[in-house]
Every structure is written in C-alpha cells, then in structure tokens.
Amino acid sequence: ATGRVTAVHATGWSERYAYDEAGNQTHASWPTTHPGTEATGPRTYQGTRITRAGNIRYEHDALGRITLRQKTRLSKKPDTWHYTWDTEDHLTSVTTPDGTHWRYSYDPLGRRTAKHRLADDGETVLERVTFTWDGTTLCEQTTTSSSLPNPVTLTWDHQGLRPLSQTERITAADAPQQEIDSRFFAIITDLIGTPTELIDEQGNITWRTRSTLWGTTAWATDSTTYTPLRFPGQYYDPETGLHYNYFRHYDPETARYLTLDPLGLAPAPNPAAYVGNPHTWADPLGLAPDVCPKSGPFGRDLAGAKAKALDDAGIPEGTLPLEVNEYVPATTPEWQGSKQLMGDDHKPIYYTEEVYEHPNGRDMVVFQDHWFGHQKPGEVGYQPSHVHVRPFEDTRNGQIPGCEEHYYYDR
C-alpha cells in the first residue's frame, strides 16, 4: 500500500480521489458548494504532464511547465490564464481571464520579493506587494495600491514552519514608519501548520476556513480579516488561484506543481506531484516531499512522529479525528498538584489533543502533541518535544499495547 488518501468524510462533506501507479490523480471529487469544482471529475495525463482535470485543460512548454490553464464554462467564453517562466523556472508574469497582467520579481536566492498589478499599458504599476524574508520563511508583506488610501502591512511570527500570529498595520503613505492603526491576531493551525482560524485580542474568531484535502480553501463570508498563508511555506495568490511555494507554484485543485521538481527524481518518482499525504507531510520549499529524510537528532518532524504513533495505535492513515481540542492546558504531574505550566513568556502553555475511533469499533485512541517537552536539557525528567497515543480511559498515564511511551520529534 502506498498510503495515499482515497476518501475524506465528515458531516455534510465528502471527498474522493483515485490514483494511477505513478501517483497522478485520475479522478477527484468534493462538494459542489466548495470552490474549484470545475476541476472535479476525471483527469488525463501525458506521462506526468496533466492535460485535463474535469473542465480545465492545460498546455505545457517544452520543459514541462504549464503555460496555459483554461476553464470551460457553459454558454460563456472560457476563463484562461497565461503563465510566463524564466530560465530558472520562476513564474515571472500571469495574464488573468479578465486581461489583468501581473509581474513577479525574485532575489538571487529565488525568494519572491514583489508582485505588481499593471495597467493596460503594461508598465504603470496599479498595485504593488513587497515581501520580506527571514531566511526561507516569509515574515512580512506590504501592499500599496491606487485603491487603498494607505499601505497595509501584514507581519507573521513563526515557530519553525508554524505561523503563530499575524499583525496588520496601516501606515502613512508618505511615512512608512508612522503607524495609523494596527490589529493583532493569533493564528490557529492544524497539526501540519496550515492556518485554520484567526483570533483577535478579544478572543473572537475573525477568519475561519474549510479546505479540501489538497488545500483548495474557502473562508466565511463574514470574516473581518484574512491571511494568505496556506500549507507550510505556501502563500495564496488570488489572481492565479495558485500557492507560491518558494521554488515552485502549487495548484491545490490538482495537488500538483506547475513545474517539475528542481531536484529531479531524487525526492520522489513523480516530479510534479505534491506530498503523498498532506495530513502528515508538507513540502515548505517546493523541493522535497515525504520520502526525503528529516534533519535533526530524531530524523522526523511532528508529522512523522504523529504518523508513526497513530500507525502503532492501529489507526489507518488518512483517518480523520472525531474530536480536536487545540487548547488543552499543560499541567505538572499529579504528585506536583496538576498545576498549569507557564512558558518563558509567563503565558499558559496549551497543547493539541485529538480523539480517533479504532477500526475495531470498540476502542478510542487519544493523540497528544506535547510540543513543549518536559523540564530543560540536563534536568531530571527532561523530555524533548514528543507526542503520545493513549487510551481514552486514561489520557494522563495510559499505555496502548505495542506503542511507545514517547514519540520524539525535531522542532
């Protein structure tokens, strides 16, 4: 078995996927109320090049890069996107169905530094978005536009690949350091690190998403804020419908990149496909899917530790949790009074807990992510970041036969 997800089920929700031996999706479906349904249905390929997905057809250049994406519409002119690439496979420009032209710039390290929406003359800039990086992590963007009275800056704080917060600032047009207004939001993510909610300082949910398995995302119409962050390392461009993923651009409707892997076939046999299972693996640079080894003393990240723990507990890959609690208080042992643990910032520490139904229909398995570890290096009882799988009857100390006490991972 290859471990590919073939179905996702939830209340009022169903997704189905089929694959060929090369890992190409041959059929996909998700609810018609969700975006991207033009891509549902059968999919055809020439080798690993996709030629059609549902009502969308694709054209490629000689290097296998997608240059045209066209959505067929009943009794209407098709929606067509044209893509232009440079010699290093950077997407340099896009023409959208309404004729809007966007241009993209990169630094010598391959990081996107700006995108520009151009006027009909192809030169005048109507909108500019500039990007700031911390190594390979996108940490800030600033948008200036003829339709905005002032520049708007979004700043992100990360813990590894996981975004923790977003700060939105409005600054003076003639004095970027002069702040007119600002808003702070905590970012709630899934276990991989994909944002699912934004919470304001009053504790209100201001943005909530629902996504397909492969990342096609919709959000509540009454949202009062927004974030473009998607899978770890991915940034959503509404003008293209694609996710910028550092070295490549990802299409969540087809679970594929628009260009081949710069590393060739070394990371995976299929150079255009995304990771095998996006619930347990990510590709933050658009280079190496789940078959590549992870760095660090334990050789795996949170996703790897979770996959191993759930597998040992007998939970089939792709199973969705029955319940998720992202705010379980971390406490001291019972013999120490079960007191709330506090971080170095003197704020309470919380962790994520998920409940899964075992295939035997009798047992419930509880997954816990103790990302904060226990004690400090060199102290008695020190444990680095780890996960647990425990029986539902004893989530504090219970042990499931055949499972390890701790599944350590690198943070």
> What is residue 98's predicted lDDT score, i.e. its pLDDT?
96
Domain of 84? 73-257
Tell me how far CA of residue 95 lies from CA of 37, 172, 312, in angstroms: 22, 31, 49
Beta bridge partners of 197: 188, 208
What is the C-alpha to C-alpha distance for residues 61 and 154, in angstroms, rounded to an integer?
35
Whether 166 and 244 map to the same domain: the answer is yes
Residue 109 in any domain: the answer is yes
One-letter amino acid at 311 equals D
Q: Is residue 283 part of a domain?
A: no
In a domain, 224, yes or no: yes
If asked whether residues 308 and 250 sit together in one domain, one would say no
Q: Among 57-66, 193-202, 294-303, where is mean pLDDT lowest?
A: 294-303
Within-domain flag for 24: no
The answer to whether position 37 is within a domain reads no
14: its two tokens: 């169903």
Helices (H) and strands (E) in the chain, counts: 1, 28
Calpha distance 186→163 (Å, rounded):
9
Instruction: Say yes or no: 251 and 306 in one domain.
Output: no
Rounded to an integer, what distance in angstroms lies between the CA atom of residue 279 and that of residue 338?
A: 32
Q: Which of 200, 225, 257 is the last residue of a domain?
A: 257
- Phi, psi (deg, nearest 5) at residue 207: -155, 130
Report the pLDDT value the prediction gives residue 291, as an integer from 0 to 100: 39
- Amino acid in the structure at residue 219: W
Domain assignment of residue 124, yes or no: yes
Task: Tell me if residue 39 falls in helix, strand or coil.
Answer: helix
Residues 231 and 129 in one domain: yes
Is residue 293, in this structure, part of any structural domain at all?
no
Q: Are residues 79 and 220 in the same domain?
A: yes
Q: How many other C-beta atoms can be found within 10 angstroms of the C-beta atom of residue 97?
A: 15
120 shares a domain with 216: yes
The tally of domains found in the chain comes to 2
Task: Quote the pLDDT of residue 273.
Answer: 94
How many Cβ atoms are within 10 Å of 304's Cβ, its own excluded?
Answer: 20
Q: Are residues 247 and 327 in the same domain?
A: no
Q: Are both 97 and 229 inside the same structural domain?
A: yes
At position 259, the amino acid (one-letter code) is T
Strand pairing report for 364-370 and 350-357: antiparallel
Q: Is the pLDDT of residue 293 over 50?
A: no
Ranking 201-205, 296-300, 361-365 by mean pLDDT, the lowest is 296-300
Last-in-domain residue among 221, 241, 257: 257
The pTM of the full predicted model, rounded to 2 decimals, is 0.72
| For range 20-38, the mean pLDDT | 95
Q: Does 399 lie in the same domain as 330?
A: yes
Please report, rounded to a whole number, the percentage of residues in the chain having pLDDT higher than 90.
Answer: 71
Q: Whose structure tokens read 């962050």?
A: 229
Asked if the structure places residue 63 within a domain, the reply is no
Type of residue at 52 = R
User: Same structural domain for residues 238 and 360?
Assistant: no
Q: CATH no. for residue 246?
A: 2.40.160
Residues 231 and 314 in one domain: no
**Overall average pLDDT of the 357-371 stretch:** 94
Token couple for 85? 């690439």
Q: Are residues 90 and 191 in the same domain?
A: yes
CA 4, 357, 255: angle at the middle one, nearest 5? 25
What is residue 298's predicted lDDT score, i.e. its pLDDT?
75
Nearest to 45 by CA among 273, 205, 334, 266: 273
